Each structure stands twice: as C-alpha cells, then as structure tokens.
Amino acid sequence: MNQSVLLDCQGLWKVYGPNAEKFLRGQLTSIDQTALEKAHLTAAVRDANLQIRKGEIFVIMGLSGSGKSTLVRCLSRLIKATAGSIRFEGQDLIGMSERELIEVRRKKMGMVFQHFALLPHLTVLQNVSFPLDVQGVRLTEREVRAREMIDLVGLTDRETAYPRELSGGQQQRVGIARSLVGDPHLWFLDEPFSALDPLIRHEMQNEFLRLQNKLHKTIIFITHDFEEAVRLADRIAVMKDGEIVQIATPEQLVTSPATDYVEEFTRHIPKTKVIQLVTIMQEGCPAGSYAGDLKQSLKVADVVTQVGQTSRPFRVLDHDGTPVGTVDRQKLVSIMLGQELVE
C-alpha cells in the first residue's frame, strides 16, 4: 500500500438478507438491483472503492439512505462488510480478531457522532478521560491528557461541569475532546454538527478547521450538507443508493460533476467559493509592483474584496511560500461574471 494512504477500501459490499455472502460469492458479473430483489437482499453499500490519505479531511456525503453511515461503520469495523477488503495502516481490518479490533479502536481510532453520547453522571474532565480509563491509564496521567484536550477545544473553565450544565455546542466540544484524548491515527465524525442550530454549527465548523490546522489528523467526515462538505473537505465522495458516484475535490465536483445527480447537488454552490487561486492565476511572476501576496489555496470568494480594492496585481504563493503566479481585479471579476470557464 502507498505510504501516504492510511486506509484502503476495495470492492466493499454491505448486503442485508438471507445468505448474502453466498449470493455475492456466486456472482460472476455485475450485480443489478433485479438480482438483489429476487434474492430478497438489500445492498446498503455497493462495490465501494476509496483510499484515505494521511492528513486529509475526506468527506462522505449523500442524502438520507444513500449508505454513507453504513460505509463508515464498515470502515471502522463497527459492522462487518459482506464482501471486499479494508486495509488500515497496511493491516487487514476485516480479518482482525475481536481482541485486535478492540485495541485498534481504543488506540488508533477516534469517533464523534451526531448524538453526543456523553455520560450524564460524569463531569467534563471525567467524560474526556473515560477512554483512557478504559485503557487502564493511571489517573494522574489520564487527567493531564484530558485537561490538554479540554484546553484545546476551549473548555478550560468547565472541567467540573456536568453535561446537563452545558450548551449543545459545548457538549459537542466535550465529545470532540474525548475522541482525541487517545491521539487517534484516524478520526471518524458522523454528522457531528447536524443537531446544532445554524450559528453554533458554523462556529463548530470553524473550531474543527482550527483543530485540524493544529493537529493534522486523518479524518473521515460524514454529512448530508454539501455546503458543509465544500467548506471542510480536501476531497469528497458523493454516494447514491449505496454507490460512490464520484470522488473529487470540492472544486472538481462543482466545475466537473460526473453525473446529473452530482450536478444537481452542486448547482447552488457559487463557483467562487470553491475555485482556488492556483486554478485561475496567471503563471509566472514578472518583476514589478505588487499589492501583496496570497496563498494559492485561497478561494476566489476569500480574496475578492481585498483584490478588488486595487488595480495592482497580487502574487500567488505555493505551499512553500514561493511565488508561482499572479491574480488581479480583472481576472476575479471575469470569473465572478462567468465570462471565463474553469477547466
């Protein structure tokens, strides 16, 4: 497996019904809906293939019933796939014993769910340190680690509070701190903000991005909200009826949707929110007077006010800070008015 790939999933199926494994083994060609119905089977995940790279935010999205939560439960081995392979850090996740799975989940995977699932009789400190307690970590050590995570999510003054004394956003911060206390290699978040009101949800998205910029975790994030996916993701997998219909960057999904279904999903997203400066810049930086420097990963919408205030161009810098191109007011205006197509 490629060194940059943390989790590799190939040909994954989750089928419910009688003799599902035997049915899949007996299929020599593609499996259609008619054959499944005839066998009284329901496919929640169909032939899924994906690779999760180290340090990326990989979003799985789709409408209710699309199979996204089932897929993530297969990837984390909370449920067993009917067929296919999953390799985590080069190891066969499906073939692991129950004891090996418990160790992997305790020490290498963190999970945050829509419902906070905090223990009501425990304080914030006790809730956050609970996973380390299960691992048998000494009290002093686990409390030090838990306090670090509580500080990280901005709840320093609420260590002795109980869940009932916290707002919804604060409770979710506790859930995030608890999932991070064991320093997981892979972090699963299943619609973690969907139960929050819009203002708190936006705040938690900001918090999530702040944490990722600091921790650089490998993350699988589930959502049915495409705007949330675009805002958070490095790459997005769009699911429909149990199938992954496209995997791409947010920019690629909006500018080059693979199917009518993906196009419908992305239609209401302004291109300026996903198109990066690296895509539209004029390559090269000739000598001259520049208004300033901008990172190539910034979106057009992020810089349109700044660039629009001057007639001078801006330099565009790559990840290492090296000038690689320029953008100016005219370029951004043409993109906003739809006068240029982004390939």
The model's pTM: 0.88
Under the banding of pLDDT at 50, 70 and 90, the label for residue 339 is very low
- Residue 197's pLDDT is 86
Kindly state the greatest CA–CA separation across the chain.
72
Is residue 44 pLDDT above 60, yes or no?
A: yes
Give the number of other CB atoms < 10 A from CB of residue 210: 13
CB 289 within 8 A of CB 267: no
Give the mean pLDDT of 265-292: 90
Under the banding of pLDDT at 50, 70 and 90, the label for residue 336 is confident
DSSP state of 185: S
Could you read off the pLDDT of 136-163 as tens digits, one per residue?
899 999 999 999 999 999 999 999 999 9
Could you read off the pLDDT of 86-135 as tens digits, one per residue?
999 999 999 999 999 989 988 899 988 877 789 999 999 999 999 999 88
Is residue 316 pLDDT above 90, yes or no?
A: yes
| Average pLDDT score over the chain | 91
Specify which residues 326 forms β-bridges with: 282, 315
- Residue 341's pLDDT is 46
- Residue 343's pLDDT is 42
Question: 13-47 burial by CB neighbour count: b if 16+ within 10 A, else e?
Answer: bbbeeeebeebbeeeeeebeeeebeebebebbbbb
The full set of domains in the chain, from first to last, is 5-9+44-270 (3.40.50.300), 272-336 (3.10.580.10)
Is residue 210 pLDDT above 60, yes or no?
A: yes
Under the banding of pLDDT at 50, 70 and 90, the label for residue 262 is very high
CB 149 within 8 A of CB 181: yes
What are the distances in angstroms from CA 106 to CA 136, 180, 186? 11, 11, 11
Is residue 2 pLDDT above 70, yes or no?
A: no
Opening angle at CA 269, ends 59 and 241, nearest 5? 50
- Residue 266's pLDDT is 86
